[in-house]
Structure 1
């Protein structure tokens, strides 16, 4: 455990980039070999759009990183936050609790709020417009949403009182798990179901990308599935019934053109439908 702490305390930016690129490459190979769906689309064009948003996410987080570092250092120096107030415990348990709480605030809560707040939904909508969900979809976030998520991550670090090594560990796990549960991969049904009791499995997250309510407003988790089960937002839908996208933006010129995707948060909002036909 100490080796992990030492590594993530001083993890080079090149290693963090390698985790991002390596994860996409790994799951891209796997989904091409064992695809969940045989999707007919221009894979490189689709990936190009999602890689653009991946790049903007990296830029936003790089520019604002000093805020996160300062916040983490402040909580430790001032003995502030939930982790700082816990009694002595094994380091592995301390780490799991910290990761769970960071995931609650920095992933589940912000995701829930984005769906329930019209202004924030305008930015998160870009992620849901993708009708070809694969591992590149994981980082399909409008730059505005990247800022929103950064704010909640920083809030999570402040409330939880997380040391910086744990933040880096959480972010690395978050990237890989997001790539995993977005990947167009086919796991054995029972394996995926058992996994969904502990982590957000591919089939579990795919339900969140179903194009109509109430499925879109469910399964908000990123790493741990426990929060969806505790707060009653877990939903199941057989994979053969899944239709990706969001019912307000099903036309190709709306969801498959970068210029329009960047403009969506500033366009007139549209009301979601509850019908079952695109």
Structure 2
């Protein structure tokens, strides 16, 4: 456990990049061999849209990473945060810290985006994808990248997260998101078993169904416990899934970059409502 902690405390930028690229490459290959849905789309063209948003996310987060590290350093120096107030062994620090980072930085951020009209506009771009695959995991409007960063910084502050925990959390968050968006289906028994611990592919894909109430469910990213604990868990057979969001089903909302960048600044009521 100490070796894992030390690795993520000083993880090279190259290794972080390999985690991002390696995850996409691996799940891309798997979903190409055994796709759950045969979309009949031009996979590279679809990926190009999502890779554009991957790049904007990187460009937004790169300069903001300095603030995240400064927040972490402050909590360590001033002994502030949950982990600083509890006397636990290293494995418990990592587990509890990881769960709290996921709760605040992912589940809560995601829930708030769905329940707040202004924030939903930015997150809606993620939901306009009607051909969900592993590249969809990184499809986030630049404005949403800033929103997500704010929640990650808040989580770091509340948890009192050391750098090693932040790097571990972000690495797992990226890989799990690529995993549960990938266009393949695990054996149903395995998927169900996994869904009691982590967010499985079948569990997350329900969140991408185009209509309420399913759009407002299954907010988790790493751990599934939060949806089950807070009553936001829902299930739906894969055969009944239809991806997208019912207010923005036109093709331009799915493939038009210019149009997608403007979506957050238009007037609408929220997911599942009339414009």
**TM-score normalized by structure 1?**
0.96
* Mapped partners of 2:77, 2:225: distance in 1: 31
* Mapped partners of 1:213, 1:197: distance in 2: 23
Q: Is the 8 A contact 1:133 1:182 kept in 2?
A: yes
Q: Is the 8 A contact 1:81 1:161 kept in 2?
A: yes
* Mapped partners of 1:12, 1:133: distance in 2: 31
108-117 vs 247-256, which moves further: 247-256
* 2:124 counterpart of 1:125: yes
3-state secondary structure, aligned to 1:104 = helix
| Residue equivalent to 1:12 | 12
Unpaired runs of 5+ residues, structure 2, are none
* Mapped partners of 2:33, 2:42: distance in 1: 17
Query: What is the RMSD of the two structures over their aligned residues, measured on CA atoms?
Result: 1.2
| Residue equivalent to 1:102 | 101
Q: 1:4 to 1:251 in 2, by over 3 A?
A: same
| Residue equivalent to 2:84 | 84
* Mapped partners of 1:157, 1:254: distance in 2: 34
| Residue equivalent to 2:149 | 150
The 5-angstrom pairing of residues 167-246 of structure 1 reads 167-246=166-245
Q: Is the 8 A contact 1:212 1:274 kept in 2?
A: no
The 5-angstrom pairing of residues 54-65 of structure 1 reads 54-65=54-65
* Mapped partners of 1:128, 1:244: distance in 2: 8
3-state secondary structure, aligned to 1:220 = coil
| Residue equivalent to 2:254 | 255
Aligned length: 274
What CA deviation, in whole Å up to 9, does each residue of 1:217-247 have, x standing for no partner?
0000000000000000000001100000000
* Mapped partners of 1:14, 1:237: distance in 2: 39
* Mapped partners of 2:136, 2:272: distance in 1: 23
| Residue equivalent to 2:113 | 114
* Mapped partners of 2:112, 2:255: distance in 1: 26
* Mapped partners of 2:269, 2:162: distance in 1: 41
What CA deviation, in whole Å up to 9, does each residue of 1:163-219 have, x standing for no partner?
011100100000000000000011001100110000000000000000000000000
Aligned-pair CA distance for 1:270: 5.2
3-state secondary structure, aligned to 2:242 = coil
| Residue equivalent to 2:29 | 29
| Residue equivalent to 2:135 | 136
| Residue equivalent to 2:75 | 75
Aligned-pair CA distance for 1:3: 1.1
Q: Is the 8 A contact 2:247 2:273 kept in 1?
A: no
Aligned-pair CA distance for 1:253: 1.4
* Mapped partners of 1:51, 1:271: distance in 2: 26
Q: Is the 8 A contact 2:215 2:271 kept in 1?
A: no
What CA deviation, in whole Å up to 9, does each residue of 1:12-44 have, x standing for no partner?
111100100000000000001111111111111
Which 4+ runs in 1 deviate beyond 3 A? 270-275
Q: Is the 8 A contact 1:106 1:149 kept in 2?
A: yes
Unpaired runs of 5+ residues, structure 1, are none
Q: 1:4 to 1:37 in 2, by over 3 A?
A: same
